[in-house]
Amino acid sequence: MCGIVGYVGSHVDGAALDVVMEGLARLEYRGYDSAGVALVADGTLATEKRAGKLENLRQAIIDHPLPPSSTAIGHTRWATHGGPTDTNAHPHRGGADGKLALIHNGIIENFHPLKERLVADGVKFLSETDTEVAAQLVAREYEADRDLTQAMLRAVAHLEGAFTLLAVHADSPGVVVGARRNSPLVVGLGDGENFLGSDVAAFIGHTRHAVELGQDQIVTITPDGYDVIGFDGEPTEARAYEVTWDASAAEKGGFDTFMEKEILEQPHAVADTLLGRVDPAGRLVLDEVRIPEERLRAVTRITIVACGTASYAGMVAKYAIEHWARIPVEVSLAHEFRYCDPIVDENTLVISISQSGETMDTLMAVKHARELGAQTLSICNTHGSTIPRESDAVLYTHAGPEVAVASTKAFLAQITAAYVLGLYLAQLKGGSHAEQATTILAELRGMPDKVQTVLDRMGRVKEIARFMADTRSVLFLGRHVGYPIALEGALKLKEIAYIHAEGFAAGELKHGPIALIEPGQPVFIVVPGPDTPHDLHKKVVSNIQEIRARGARTLVIAEDGDEEVVPYADEVIRVPHSSPLLQPLLTVVPLQVFALHLATAKGLDVDQPRNLAKSVTVE
Ligand code: F6R
């Protein structure tokens, strides 16, 4: 999704361009299809923009050098209105003299009528974007008093939809103005220089002092400071904070891909997400939950809203919360939530799960839930992002920045946070629920070591993946908490290896999908531990026999010591023993490693798979 960088410094040299290009490189992980910059220099505006990777922009700037400057904005675009072309790339110019440049993340929903009015007034448009409308509006307003902040303020009053906008004007050197509604923007504070970014990665190489902006706010940065006003024009306070990770955490750290690095960081992601959650008496403490305990005790139902991988974390959460806290849980894809006329009231807790905290589908589901009177709690990995800010409470996962488009460590951290929440709700219920919570919590604290054990054993999985580089289809089966893991295994393979993959509940096989099994068909099976209630283990072993008898090549993920699977397995991938509900933290790891190494064997761009963006900020 679009990345945004703004910079003002006190010296007119090459720094502004360098800072903005570096910021865009750090934001590459968000996914993009074109990039551009604008600089203010000597009363003129210089821009360069190119479709494709940042390298194309770099080459264009080498071919046509830009003047030294102290004021710059930069943008990586993920196309929504208008294809990914040089012309549609941002920045867009505004005004008859073209002296204003503007970049945008989001969608301006009413751009058609606005454009019609501007065209009727004689404004000429060059691109097919909604953004150019905003550029022309801000430029027109600038003519009234030549104050860029006031021009932005008046322009946003016309806009509907979601947007972060940054603007510079040739006649206002040393000033960048930003505005945000339902789209991310943070301020970075330097010494004699200040920054704006879609997230702190944009300026983390220069400062860790950041300022969180609220909804419907406008920020003006100069080399000496920043000012924030609301869309009502009134000055407003913004919260300053320190970023706790540094630039190296957002770099590959010696690995070939971010995805590999992030898979290997998973023991830390789980451990860090548990950090500070337990008091000396072994009881859970959730400081960030701002919903009063009596409100939480009154919760009669829970709905989890999320998309993609995060929704699979939600499915694992359903099994765990229902079992531990005995509260009914429903999992809804966030983009379907509003349309199913959800039954939600003040005793419903709506839990959103989102790595980025910016997924528009999830944000809209949270807003709808609040309108219906629900309590909302966000499980999120990104401080200062929009979804936690729109929620009554937040439980942050501490996975650190996730750069690879395919989610891995955030998934484990989301499941961990969901466990913590489930145990907390069980603890609030008291009695036997609370006792059980204490036992599970002790086991949960040992899970990072077990995740590490799985990672240490991945040699054979990597080999299998390399042998299977030509495979055209892979199936994944699981039951109970193994079912969402089967779905996640299939999603990982689809998104980074471009292989057709399906995940099924193993019990569903006989109701149709078993017809897909033909000799040689590879099938991963996530096997529950032998002590899982309701003879589930035996039932899954029978499922393996059924597909093996029809020629499937069975790749079985089973616990240490589970010998019953051996006669029916072409390969056995071992994970340490755990309580049934905690098993997903272990069984998903071989599936991530498999997808990573198969995609690598195919020579694919693992970190930035085609057609995908890290942060999906449109509906
Ligand atoms: C898949 C993946 C996506 C995200 C989904 C939600 O690997 O990363 O399916 O899980 O787009 O994103 P967040 O968690 O940022 O809301």
Per-residue confidence (pLDDT) for residue 482, from 0 to 100: 98
DSSP class per residue in 572-594: EEEE----GGGTHHHHHHHHHHH
Q: Which two tokens stand for residue 78?
A: 């993920």
Residue 253 has pLDDT above 70, yes or no: no
* pLDDT for 449: 97
Bin 174: left if φ > 0, else alpha if -120 < ψ < 50, else beta: left
Give residue 1's pLDDT: 64
Residue 330's nearest CA partner among 307, 312, 309, 314 is: 314
Residues above pLDDT 90, as percent of the chain: 78
Structure tokens at 159: 């806009």
In the predicted structure, residue 389 carries a pLDDT above the cut 90: no
* pLDDT tens, residue by residue, 24-82: 999 887 767 899 999 999 899 999 999 999 999 999 999 999 999 999 999 999 777 88
Per CATH, the homologous superfamily of domain 258-445 is Glucose-6-phosphate isomerase like protein; domain 1 (3.40.50.10490)
Q: If you take atom 16 of ligand 1, which residue's CA is the nearest one?
A: 354
- Of 616, 618, 619, the residue with max ligand 1 atoms within 8 A of its CB, to mutate for a pocket test, comes to 616
Query: Measuring from atom 9 of ligand 1, which residue has the nearest CA?
Result: 308
Measured between alpha carbons, how far is 78 from 93 in angstroms, rounded to an integer? 18
Question: Which CATH number fits the domain 456-601, given the four candidates 3.40.640.10, 3.40.50.10490, 3.40.50.1000, 3.40.50.2000?
Answer: 3.40.50.10490
Three-state secondary structure string covering 345-393: CCCEEEEEEECCCCCHHHHHHHHHHHHCCCEEEEEECCCCCHHHHCCCE
Q: First-to-last CA distance in the chain?
A: 12
Q: What pLDDT digit, counting tens, does each position of 161-207 carry?
A: 889 999 999 999 999 999 999 788 999 999 999 999 998 989 999 99
Q: 258-445: same fold as 3-248? A: no
Range of weakest confidence among 61-70, 213-222, 384-393: 384-393
162 near 107, Cβ under 8 Å? yes
Residues having CB within 6 Å of any atom of ligand 1: 307-310, 354-356, 359, 362, 406-407, 491, 495, 615-616
Our mutation pick for probing the ligand 1 site, out of 335, 336, 359, 412, counting the most ligand atoms within 8 A of Cβ, is: 359
Report cis status (omega within 30 of 0) of the bond before 68. Answer: no
List the catalytic residues.
2, 614
* Domain spans in the chain, listed from the N-terminal domain onward: 3-248, 258-445, 456-601
With beta carbons less than 8 A apart as the criterion, state whether 320 and 581 touch. Answer: yes
> Residues 383-410: what's their mean pLDDT?
90
pLDDT at 429: 85
Q: Evaluate if residue 221 carries a pLDDT over 90.
A: yes
Q: Which residues contact 185 (CB under 8 A, 6 or more apart)?
A: 4, 164, 166, 178, 179, 196, 197, 198, 213, 219
Give me ligand 1 centre to Cα 41, in Å: 40
Architecture of the 3-248 domain: 4-Layer Sandwich (3.60)
pLDDT > 80? residue 282: no
Q: Residue 124: what pLDDT?
A: 96
Ligand 1 center from residue 407 Cα (angstroms): 6
Closest by alpha carbon to 19, among 223, 259, 172?
Answer: 223
pTM of the model: 0.80
In this prediction, residues 503-511 reach a mean pLDDT of 94
Q: Which of 79-93, 124-138, 459-473, 555-569 has the lowest mean pLDDT?
A: 79-93
- Band (613; pLDDT cuts 50, 70, 90): confident
pLDDT over 90 at 328, yes or no: yes
How many CB atoms neighbour CB 293 within 10 A? 10
Looking at every residue in the chain, the average pLDDT score rounds to 93
Q: What is the mean pLDDT of residues 5-17?
A: 91
pLDDT at 106: 85
- Residues 316 and 417: beta-carbon distance below 8 Å: no
What is the predicted pLDDT for the residue at 33?
83
More confident residue, 277 or 450: 450
Is the predicted pLDDT of residue 245 greater than 90, yes or no?
no
Segment among 17-31, 113-127, 410-424, 547-561 with least mean pLDDT:
17-31
Q: Which numbered atom of ligand 1 lies nearest the CA of 308?
A: 9
